[in-house]
Every structure is written in structure tokens, then in C-alpha cells.
Structure 1
Amino acid sequence: MKPDRRTFLRVLGAGSIGAATTGLFGGSAAAATVITMRGGGDDIWGTADAFHYHYTELSGDFDVAVQNTGIDNVESWTKAGPMVRESLDPDSKNVMVRRRPNGEASMQYRPEDGAETDSVGGTSADWLRLTRHGDTIETYRSTDGETWTSINTLGADDISLGDSVYVGLAVTSHLSGTLATATFQSLSGVEPDRNRDIGDVDVAGSVENTTGVPLVSTGDVTDVGPDSATLTGELGDLGGADSADCYFEYREVPTEAWQTTESTQLTSSGAFNVEADDLTERRYYEVRAVADTADGDTAWGAVSTFSTPSPSNSEVPADAGPDSASQFGPSDGFADAAPWLDDDTPVIVITEPTRRQLEKAVTVDGERLVVFETSGTIDLGVRDLPIPYDKCYIAGQTAPSPGVTLVKGRVNIAASDCVLQHVRVRLGDAGIDEPTEDWALDTVNTADETENNVIDHVSASWSVDECLSVGYETADTTVSNCLVAEALDDSVHPKGEHGYGSLIGNDAKNVAMLGNVWAFNTDRHPRLKEGTESVVVNNVMYDFEDGTWLDPDTEASIVGNAYLQPNSEKANVFAEDGVDTAVVYLEDNVTDDDDVAMVDDDVTVVDERPLWPDGLAAMPSDRTFEHNLANVGARPADRTATDERILEHVELGASYLVDSQKRVGGYPDLPVNSHELNVPNGGTRPWLRSWSRRVETPRR
């Protein structure tokens, strides 16, 4: 058993209440003061910012410290914290010590006006500190307001600020039309005297200062067992009341309702604790301390997250259970599918088909297996669904029939060591009337610089950019058994016609595309961009203008594919004119149009595979078409009408493009069915494979 899975995972705002009143700068506060800020805006990032700012103008040196006691989880990149900026223009150079909803404290800065923002990583902390001494900016984090850890130091070569600057607190929701609330206390070193929105903010922000309020903090969770844990907290200030009833609220992630413990009455500041003894094994829980004062005020501590362990482990071998019904399993490429997953991994159960539940699950910062007790259509609300933290396994095969389909948003795997399996994602134009860069999105992708990700048995359609892509400078990515179809052609992309299948970003290494079907897209089947290293094995490319496109300095092994119904005279495997540094190994690829060459003269064809996953066995190409139509997409044995229609059109030899999902029936409205899952204490991997096999066994 790994100790970190038994104990407290992440505290979002827990800290020393003693430090809240006597922190770094000494002295004792006469009464607690809480600053409540609400801010919208798309982000504090890139080349320009949009946020709410509570600030003053300062000259010379400063030393600012504050405790961020809470921040709304509007988006994973919602952020709050102290900031210095040279001007109030959106593109001003600045430095910020930021805190995110997962509790991570880190630093970001824009070195010049209008330049791209950069960041330096962090770890969990709720005290933030920003200092200036001459030309040097220093940033710190702390869990108690007394012992400080340096995040980073910037000199004049990194950022040069004028003598007169603006210093204060900043909040952005990362979602322009929605406000995020952040609370601060024990602010030292600056006295903000004004506030305003900076940049393009759809909803006005605000600041409220409250004095003489009660304060309570959520402490560590201790003695964590499979069904119980000791919850700890500290009452820091009664806010002038004679007494307070102190207790805890807790809930399993991602459920909505809080459960309440028994209370302890305190007449002075001090610690309190309660044992929660009705927990479920292998689950994540949120907890917060609460104080109800005799004067009628209520104070909440920040939310912390912890996980309960498995009570025991069976001797079920990890490799037990049925194999995939397909020729290709999730680990047959270069990626090792979720090597971290074992019988201790916490499980998050989705019980209703809502963005709120799924987003809560994927934004837990820790190993997690996401399973489904519900089917249905999950409306992403015309927003991205990022997976921002490593080690997330989304197991759509566990849902009851007909499974889950995500609509009106992109699934962006912005982390490493993740698996996305047996879900359908359909982006569409989502009611966007005019072309917009903000909605020029893929349907599913892995983000730049991620590694060891698997996308298996996913249906990705109705993209505005590409249907399914792999990010730049990634490593060890597998895309297997996916249906990549009906990219929107002449839709809402600002560049115009853009019905593309898949793009493999520059310098992506060890990308395996196995047993997929690309259909009814114009281009990129797939496009292997500059410096990529890929294998393209036993895929069907159907009804396309451009097949597999190789950029300079690419290496690829292209084996056993079927290039069917090409709509141009361009070779199925090609490079741009004049590109002579694309290297490819070709074996057993077929086409149904003898007038179209398999490879053009600009591609360097070699006799040995430049790369190949260990143990990968390709099928003969004469099996590819029938095998793939039986095995691709989410839940081949339990397909929805959209996937059935697409594959039937492939079988019938149809040729068409789609400009809007409205032309082919519109967004689906799947029935909401439910069942109860019994996640075993042992044999998690075989259990998942058995669910996969149930929905994969071909009916054709």
C-alpha cells in the first residue's frame, strides 16, 4: 500500500490560524478581516489579461503576503493572488503569485508588454508572498505564513519594472461570463484602495472587506481508513461572539449534497476534531470546517480533499481478464496504459450525465479511475473539458447502455499518463453563428508536451478544426480503435473550409495510430507534422482528398492500411513539393483506386522500419476494412445511431461532407439509464477489461 493514497491528498486553503493573526510581519490583529473578491475574465495569461484587480500605486520596494482561504473551482485555471504590474493596460508586464482551485501555488510573469506569459511550477500552499528589492522580484509560498519556500527569483534581465507600479490582489475566473469568488485574509505589506476590471470582462467584478468576522480553518485529515477518518479544524477568531458551534461538512466527489458531523462548542479559539465513520472505501472526499457563532454568523474553512484506501488486496493477477475484442489493445502502441492503476487507486463514480460531475472528477489532482453508473448525453456547455492533472482513467465502458456522449465542447487531455476509453465526443458548431477563433477546436486532443496517453475506442466527430489530434512535442501516445469522422467542412472556422481528420503536432515522438477509421473528412489522415515519429498501422482512410501527409524531417512506419475512395489524384502517402526529408517504411498498404499512387516521389522510402512498438503485430491489409468496421468507436456492440449511420455509409460506399451537425440529425439526446457498479477490492484491471469486452464484442 502506498502511504500517500491512505492520507490527506491536497489541502485547499488549510493553514495555521495562529499565523493568520500573528504571521510573518508580527503583531496581533484586533479583529479578523476577510477580503472577498469576485472576478471574471478569460484568463491572466498569454499576451493580455482579463481579470478583476484590487490594488494601489506604490513606489520602491515592497513585501506583500496574504493567505488565500478559498477560491471557486469555476475552471481548473481559475486563479487568485498578489500581483505587481507596471500599468493597468491588459498587456502590461507583470508578476503574479497565483493559487488555483486545486491548491497549487506557483508564479507567472509577462516579461514585456504584449509578450507571452511564462510560469514556474508550484505545489500546495495557501500563503502567498511577493517582494521587490531594487530590481529583484521574489515569490514565495507557505503553509503557515511563517516558514516560506522560494518559488522563483526574477532579476532585471527577466523583467524590468519602473519605480512606480501597481500592487494588489487579482482574480480571474478563466471563463469570461462567470464570476469566481476568492477570499483572502491577513493581507500585509500593501493597502489596496481601489479596484477595477482589467481587459475584456463580460461581468463586472467586485471587492468586499469585512471586519470582525469569525474565522475557521480546515486542518489535515488523519487516521484515514477504508470507511472512516478523523477530520480536524481550528477556530481562529470568534468575530466578537461568546461562542461558536464547530463542525465539518463532507461529501464524496463528485456528489452535490454535504453531510454534516456532530458539533463541538468552543468559547475561545482552538482546535477541534470529529471522526467520520460512514465513508466508502477507495473514494475521494471533500471536507470543510464550519463555525456557527452565537451571534448568528457562519464561517467556512477552505475545502480539502482526501482519499480512502482499499481495505484489502486480492491476489487477482493484473493481466487476468479478457483481451480486447480488437486486434489492438490499449498497450499495443508506444504508451503504457495507466501503469499507475492498481487495486488502491481511488474511484470516482459519475451518477448523473452532467458537466459538473464529470468536470469535478477529472479536476481532482491525484490518481483516479472515473467510472459511470449512468448513461446519457453530457452537455459541455460550449466550453472545453480539460483534463489538467496526470493519471486520469476515464472508463466509459462501465456506463449502462447506451453509454455516454459528450457534446458542445472539446475534450483536451492536458496531462500525462491518462486513458480515455469508450466515450463519444461530438463538438459541432454549438450555435456559433459567425466564424470565431475561440471555437476553432479539435473534438479530442492531447495537449502539447504531454506523454504516455492512450485514446482507445473513442468516437470523435463534428470538429471545427481536427476531429482527433496529438499535441506538439508529445511522447508515447496511442490512438487505437477510434472512429474519426465527419469533421465540419465549411463551418465556423475563421479560415473557411476545414474538414480535417487528425494532426500530429511538431516533434511528437512515438505516436501509434492503430486500427482506426477516418471517414468523411477532407484532409489529414493523418498529417504528420515536422519532426514527428509515428506508426500508422491497419487504419481505414475513407472518402478523402488528402491521405497521409508527411512534413519535413518526419519518420513513419505505414503498414497494412486501406486507402479507400480517394477524391484527388494526389498520392495516398505524400509530402509537399520539394520536401525530401520525409522518411517512410511502407508495407502491405492497399487502395481501391489504381489511378492514385500509394506514395509520391518526394517521400524517401526505406527498407527497414524506422520505429515500431515492441510486440505489435499488424494484420494483413485484406482484413483491415472488415475488422475495423466491426471494432472502431465507442462501444462497438452498443453503438448509437450516429456511429451506426457513419459506418453504414462507409460500407455502402457513400461520399459526402458535413458543414453542421444539423445536417445529419443534430446533437444526440441519449436515454439516461442507471445501474450500480460493484468496484472490486482486487483485480481492478481485469474488472475494467471485462467491462470493455462486454461493449466491444462485434455484432457484425
Structure 2
Amino acid sequence: MTPNRRAFLRALGAGSVGVTTASLVGGSAAAATVITMEGGGDDIWGTADAFHYYYAAVSGDFDVAVQNTGIESIESWTKTGPMVRESLDPNSKNVMVRRRPNGESSMQYRPEDGADTESSGGTAADWLRLKRSGDTVKTYHSTDGESWTPIKTLDASDITLSDDVYVGLAVTSHLKGTLATATFQNLSGVSPEKSQDIGDVAVAGGVDTATGVPLVSTGEATDVGGGSATFNGELTDLGGAESAECHFEYRKVPTESWETTESTTLTSPGSFGVDVEGLTARRYYEVRAVTDTSDGDTARGATEVFSTPNPSNAKTPAHAGPDSASRFDPGDGFADAAPWLDDDTPVIKITEPTRRQLEKAVNVDGERLVVFETSGTVDLGVRDLPVAYDKCYIAGQTAPSPGITLIKGRVNVVADDCVLHHVRVRLGDAGFEGDNENWALDAVNTADGTENNVIDHVSVSWSVDECLSVGYETSETTVSNCLIAEALNDSVHPKGEHGYGSLIGNDAKNVALLGNVWAFNTDRHPRLKEGTESVVANNVIYDFEDGTWMDPDTEASVVGNAYLAPNTDEANVFAEDGVETAVAYVKDNITDGDVPMVDDDVTRVDERPLWPDDLETMPPEETLNHNLANVGARPADRTATDERILENIEAGERYLVDSQTEVGGYPDLPVESRELSVPNGGTRPWLRSMTRQVETDR
């Protein structure tokens, strides 16, 4: 290597470093400069931030632009980009142009110290720009660094920044204690002088800069067929070397090993490409360009994702959707179960029961059918598993016996048009350390503002907050055939006893709760929060203190439910004293307790205020036997935990659980493997056949 060709700068933790090289301002030096940042922290969001910051003190106007060449996918909301903030306090007002691992660029800002953060935009772009002129802050994105598209302009009515501010680059992993890596080049408009962590990150971040290094970028795959594609790359800088060997690395999502293509020798900057054969149809692939220079340097471009099509172009009628052995099909509620799923939908195979594989699969930004060639217990590592991108079908019925159980984390459906099918989720108290209020979690929920989601045949237990909940301001949500049991009661929730079943968040519309069993929880079966519109039909509520709780301005159709073994004098369907706007159609429900079915604070009506078009209920006398036979992840292939809970209902047991350790602890399921042959045609009938196998042995 040529002596002194590379200039390095490193800053770890909360120290400060001086930067004098002019190459940090893009375009002012002949050699390329790459900035590599590592940052931890829970997020740059909400009312306070936790991240790593590489910055300078700036007075007056500025115009900062940078190209983000990569951001490591730790979480779907890992983010990086240029930022201006008024102070280095975690709660400071700020403006950021952010980029996420899926390549989406947008902007966010906190208008006042300690206020909630707001956001705008969302477009694929790798160039980010932040400009201040007087009291106006403008944000932009670009795909080439020349043509800039405005995202949002903020004036004094949105945010008021003092004349003296801090401007630089920020990165947060969105996971406290874990670092995410972001890389940049072509920074202009600011020369960062200091590097430090802001907020509670748990692990120190840092910065490297390297001048005179090779640079390579990955282009979009072209001529993509069922088994082939052309990979494209661009060598923009040899870093002073005489030549470079350029090739590509590629792999299926979510497997770990990379395959390597043949290489092309370049002696000057330019484009290169390779035709690749032997790909699998209907799969997602990752690809990245790589260059190895003659003097020993290696550079990799950002990873791009593409999918291969179905060569048969087969089509299955949309009505041939997933069927159920239960009286309640996933499509019987208000949600349309995966209307996007067809014979072209890419398939992602999970081959080992690890968080890493599952997280990578659910966080692909595109339509995907996630299937399992393995059984076992997936340890979520004491953190959320967010399903952050729309149109994800998690098909647990495809796993070999005894199926998939997720432990030590919440499944958080943050996206629209998703299906969670035939899995078990057991949160437990493993995430509580000291006074950790962040572990007051549901086991499964749909996030606020989501729509058209289905949770069907899911076993949910050992929550610290509610077992299974529907978010605020959601629409068209179906929860069917689920076993929702053993919420941890006097456990680690900061509010104390909290063994709750389900909460339907404020202003959630068109929620259908069909054929479920709630058992061995105290309260919220379900709680219908203010402004909700719900159908509660043919559910079993067993061993409870509060049944179906209606808040003000709620409407509900409550039909065919069995309220069994109540431990209260409260009516099974009730509202708080003085509530006059809880409106319910209540018919054909049964109870074995000496309590009224409906209290006087609920306004009863003679017609159903809402009802799904295809829903047909059964007589309430059939509800208990039907639901005990059909609820949970795999009714024909139940694990010991599900069997125990249902046997306890049949035996008339009454109890509460404060920790999963009282009932056997977290399961350790055997890992069995089988190869799945997903057909090129008939995807929905194939899924239906897999569904029937785990739902009934009749």
C-alpha cells in the first residue's frame, strides 16, 4: 500500500476530535472520502433521542448535502442522515433528513424541546439535504445529487431555531445496546469537528473517515427472469490503485452465506455487470457490488434487494383463499385476508428457528409469503419483532411439527395488509431488569393507524400488559380462533397487577373478534376503548373479573359468546357508571355465573350497529366445545402449554399466573426440518391444505 495514502480519524464515546481536512467538504479534494459511523440508542423520535452524532457548531445559514451509501438493517426504523439541533440535550428541538435500511428517505422534526417528533415524506433516495435560510429550514432528497426534490419546508410557525446550532450526521440503531453502521460520501456544507453519543445508548458509537479509498456502488438488477438476472455496478474511484477486480456477492433472503460471481478487471472508473444463472423463481435476493484493488483494498457497495418472478405465470382465483376447520375463516371478519397474495408473490423460507432469519424475512419491503422449513423456539432476544412493511403473510402452518413458538419479545404488526397465522407468542417477564417500564408489553398487537390485518389461530400468553391488542385508530382488523390466556398478573408491570386480555384502542373501527378463547386473565375481554366499533362473536371468556368493557362513544355487536366462571358481581357486558354513549346489540350470549349479562349503563339496541357481510354465528351452547377444539396455533398439533391451558378450562380450574416460571417456563421445542415445495401455481389452495393439516386430524 502506498504510504500515507489513507488518512484515518476515529472517535469513540463522548470525546471530541478536531477535523481539519478539507476533503470532508464534498468536491473540494481530488480523492474520495468515506465517513463510517456507528451508533446505538433506542431511537431519534418521540420526546427525547438516543443516537451518535458527528457535528460542528454552526452559526447562521447552512446548506448540507450528503450521500448515504449504506445503513445497516438492525431494525426497520434504524435511521441515519443530516441533522440540525439547537442543543446536545436528548430532548432538544431538531430537524433531520433520515434514511432507513429499506432506502426510504423522509424528514422528521421536534418543534419544541421535549415535544413529540413529527415526520413527513417517504421516497427511495440516497442523497439527503438540509438547508437553512433565516427562519426557514428546507429538506430535500435526490437520487443523483444534482436534481433535488423538496420533502417539506418548515418556517417559524413550525420550529424556531436559534442562530447558533449544531449541524452534522446522526445514526441510531433503534435498539439500545446494539450498534448500527452507516456510511457516507460526498458530504458538503459542514466540516464536523466533534463526535459523541446523545442520550442513553448503552454502548459507545464512533466515527471513522478514510480518504483515498476505492468506491463502488450497486445498481439495480436488470433482465430479471425466473432463474436469471443481470447484476450491475459502478466503480467510481480506484483509491489510487492501478487496477481493481470487480464482482458481485448475492444470496437468498434470509440465508447467511454469500455466493460470488466471476470478476471484471477495471483500470479506471466505470461500470461493470455480470449475467447470473441458476436463481430460484419467486424468491428475494440480496446483491452487492465488490471491488478488490491491486494494492489490497476491498470496498463493497450498498446491498440491493430484488425478487425473481414466477416463470409459469400461473394464476389462482382470488376466492381460493385460506380456509379453516373452524366455523370462522380469516376472511369472515372485516379484513380481507391478504388480497395481494397470488401465484407471483415471492416466498421467503425460514430454515432455522432464529430471530435473525425471521426478522430479515418480515422486514423485506415488498409482498412476501414467509414459510417455515423448520420448527422450534425462536428467542426474540428481549425485544420487539416489528412487522414494519405492508403485505406480509407469516404462515406458521407450513412449519413441521410441533410448529413455531416465539418467546421473550412482542410481535408488533406495524404495517397494513398482513396476516399472522398459526404461531405461538409467549412474552414472559425475561425483559424486566430493575425498574424497566419499557417491558410493560403486549405479546401481540397491531400498531396504531394500521389497517386490514388478520391475526388467526395464534396462541398468546404470558404478557406483561395485554396479551393481544388492536391499536388506536386502526381499521378492518380480524382476530379469530386465538387462545389468549395467562396474562401475567402480579408481575413486573410498573402499575402493579395487570393480568389483562385484550384492549381495542381508541377509534379503532371495524374490529371483528371471532371464535377466540380468553382464559385465566383478570380484565379486558375485551376492553373496547372510546370511539371503537367492534363485533364480539362466539368467544369464550373464562375465569375473569371483568368481561366486555365498553367505554364512551362505543358501538358493538355482542353475539353468541359464553361468559363462564366469572369472579365478579359486574355484568358480563358493562360500562362505567354514568356512561350513556356505550351502544350495544347483545343477543344469544350465555353465562354460568349469577351475574347479569348487560348492565344498565350500556344502551341496548335492537339492530346490529355493524356486522361483517360473510359472518354467520353459531348457537352459544356450541361455542365452548367448538372453540376448545379449534383455537390456538395448531389445534391438531398442540404443545404442552396449549394442552394444559385448555385442559384446565375443561376441568373447571381457576387461577392466575404471575410468572411463566410457575407453569413450566419458556418452552424449548424440538427443531425438526423438512423441505417445502411451494408450487408455481395454486399458492392459496396449497396454503389451505397446510392449514387443514394443523387445524384438524379428522
Q: Alpha-carbon deviation of 1:316?
A: 4.3
Q: How does 1:568-579 map to 2 (within 5 A)?
A: 568-579=568-579
CA distance in 1, matches of 2:41, 2:633: 36
CA distance in 2, matches of 1:197, 1:127: 24
CA distance in 1, matches of 2:314, 2:229: 23
CA distance in 1, matches of 2:356, 2:603: 50
Q: Secondary structure of the equivalent of 2:644? A: helix
Correspondence for 2:356:
356
Correspondence for 2:335:
335
Q: Alpha-carbon deviation of 1:180?
A: 0.8
Deviation per residue, 1:555-586 (Å, 9 max, x gap): 00000000000001100000001111100001
Q: Alpha-carbon deviation of 1:435?
A: 4.4
Correspondence for 1:526:
526
Q: 1:112 to 1:656 in 2, by over 3 A?
A: same
Q: 1:215 to 1:434 in 2, by over 3 A?
A: same
Q: 1:418 to 1:235 in 2, by over 3 A?
A: same
Greater CA drift, 426-435 or 623-632: 426-435
Q: 1:159 to 1:218 in 2, by over 3 A?
A: same
Deviation per residue, 1:246-267 (Å, 9 max, x gap): 0000000000001000000000
- Given residue 626 of structure 2, which amino acid in structure 1 is its aligned partner? H
Q: Secondary structure of the equivalent of 2:687? A: helix
CA distance in 2, matches of 1:412, 1:117: 21
Correspondence for 1:373:
373
Q: 1:129 to 1:628 in 2, by over 3 A?
A: same
- Structure 1 position 190 matched with structure 2 position 190: yes
Correspondence for 1:658:
657
- Given residue 114 of structure 1, which amino acid in structure 2 is its aligned partner? G
Deviation per residue, 1:602-624 (Å, 9 max, x gap): 00000000000002100000110
Correspondence for 1:146:
146
- Structure 1 position 601 matched with structure 2 position 583: no
CA distance in 1, matches of 2:322, 2:338: 17
Q: Alpha-carbon deviation of 1:205?
A: 1.0
CA distance in 2, matches of 1:27, 1:81: 19
Deviation per residue, 1:388-447 (Å, 9 max, x gap): 011000000000000000000000000100000000000000152434210000000000
CA distance in 2, matches of 1:431, 1:368: 30
Q: Alpha-carbon deviation of 1:661?
A: 0.2
Deviation per residue, 1:9-39 (Å, 9 max, x gap): xxxxxxxxxxxxxx9x995741010011111
Q: Alpha-carbon deviation of 1:643?
A: 0.2
Q: Alpha-carbon deviation of 1:41?
A: 1.1
Count of residues in Structure 1 that have an aligned counterpart in Structure 2? 675
CA distance in 1, matches of 2:431, 2:237: 50
Q: How does 1:159-558 map to 2 (within 5 A)?
A: 159-314=159-314, 316-320=316-320, 323-430=323-430, 432-558=432-558
CA distance in 1, matches of 2:189, 2:426: 50
Correspondence for 1:14:
none
CA distance in 1, matches of 2:436, 2:188: 43
Contact kept, 8 Å, 1:51 with 1:199, in 2: the verdict is: yes
Correspondence for 2:640:
641
CA distance in 2, matches of 1:111, 1:174: 21
Identity %: 79
CA distance in 2, matches of 1:533, 1:698: 36
Q: Alpha-carbon deviation of 1:521?
A: 0.1
Q: 1:319 to 1:377 in 2, by over 3 A?
A: same
Correspondence for 2:14:
none
CA distance in 2, matches of 1:187, 1:446: 39
Contact kept, 8 Å, 2:36 with 2:183, in 1: the verdict is: yes
CA distance in 2, matches of 1:582, 1:506: 13
Q: Alpha-carbon deviation of 1:318?
A: 3.9
Deviation per residue, 1:31-72 (Å, 9 max, x gap): 010011111111111111111110001111111000011111
Greater CA drift, 173-182 or 513-522: 173-182
Q: 1:433 to 1:240 in 2, by over 3 A?
A: closer
CA distance in 1, matches of 2:316, 2:120: 42
Contact kept, 8 Å, 2:323 with 2:330, in 1: the verdict is: no
Deviation per residue, 1:309-364 (Å, 9 max, x gap): 00113354343488310000000000000111111111100000000000000000
Contact kept, 8 Å, 2:26 with 2:187, in 1: the verdict is: no
- Given residue 531 of structure 2, which amino acid in structure 1 is its aligned partner? G
Q: Which runs of 5+ in 1 are unaligned?
A: 1-22
Q: Alpha-carbon deviation of 1:276?
A: 1.3
Contact kept, 8 Å, 1:325 with 1:698, in 2: the verdict is: no
Q: TM-score, normalising length from structure 2?
A: 0.96
Contact kept, 8 Å, 1:288 with 1:303, in 2: the verdict is: yes
Deviation per residue, 1:434-479 (Å, 9 max, x gap): 3421000000000000000000000010000000000000000000
Q: Alpha-carbon deviation of 1:121?
A: 2.5
Q: TM-score, normalising length from structure 1?
A: 0.95
Q: 1:109 to 1:243 in 2, by over 3 A?
A: same
Correspondence for 2:673:
674
Correspondence for 1:45:
45
Contact kept, 8 Å, 1:435 with 1:493, in 2: the verdict is: no
Q: Alpha-carbon deviation of 1:646?
A: 0.2
- Given residue 131 of structure 2, which amino acid in structure 1 is its aligned partner? T
CA distance in 1, matches of 2:323, 2:194: 63
Contact kept, 8 Å, 1:631 with 1:698, in 2: the verdict is: no
Q: Secondary structure of the equivalent of 1:123? A: strand
CA distance in 2, matches of 1:160, 1:71: 30
Contact kept, 8 Å, 2:408 with 2:431, in 1: the verdict is: no
CA distance in 2, matches of 1:226, 1:618: 44
Q: How does 1:69-84 map to 2 (within 5 A)?
A: 69-84=69-84
Correspondence for 1:13:
none
Greater CA drift, 543-552 or 200-209: 200-209
Contact kept, 8 Å, 2:402 with 2:637, in 1: the verdict is: yes
CA distance in 2, matches of 1:235, 1:42: 35
Correspondence for 1:135:
135
CA distance in 2, matches of 1:315, 1:45: 43
Q: Secondary structure of the equivalent of 2:55? A: strand
Q: Secondary structure of the equivalent of 1:34? A: strand
- Given residue 479 of structure 1, which amino acid in structure 2 is its aligned partner? V
Contact kept, 8 Å, 1:630 with 1:698, in 2: the verdict is: no
- C-alpha RMSD over aligned residues: 1.2
CA distance in 1, matches of 2:365, 2:553: 37
- Given residue 403 of structure 1, which amino acid in structure 2 is its aligned partner? G
CA distance in 2, matches of 1:433, 1:285: 39
- Given residue 118 of structure 1, which amino acid in structure 2 is its aligned partner? E
Runs of 4+, deviation exceeding 2 Å = 25-29, 313-323, 431-436
Q: Secondary structure of the equivalent of 1:541? A: strand
Correspondence for 2:687:
688
- Given residue 614 of structure 2, which amino acid in structure 1 is its aligned partner? G
Q: Secondary structure of the equivalent of 1:555? A: strand
Q: 1:63 to 1:633 in 2, by over 3 A?
A: same
Q: 1:139 to 1:431 in 2, by over 3 A?
A: closer
- Given residue 452 of structure 1, which amino acid in structure 2 is its aligned partner? N
Deviation per residue, 1:520-550 (Å, 9 max, x gap): 0000000000000000000000000000000
CA distance in 1, matches of 2:410, 2:26: 49
Correspondence for 1:614:
613
Correspondence for 1:11:
none
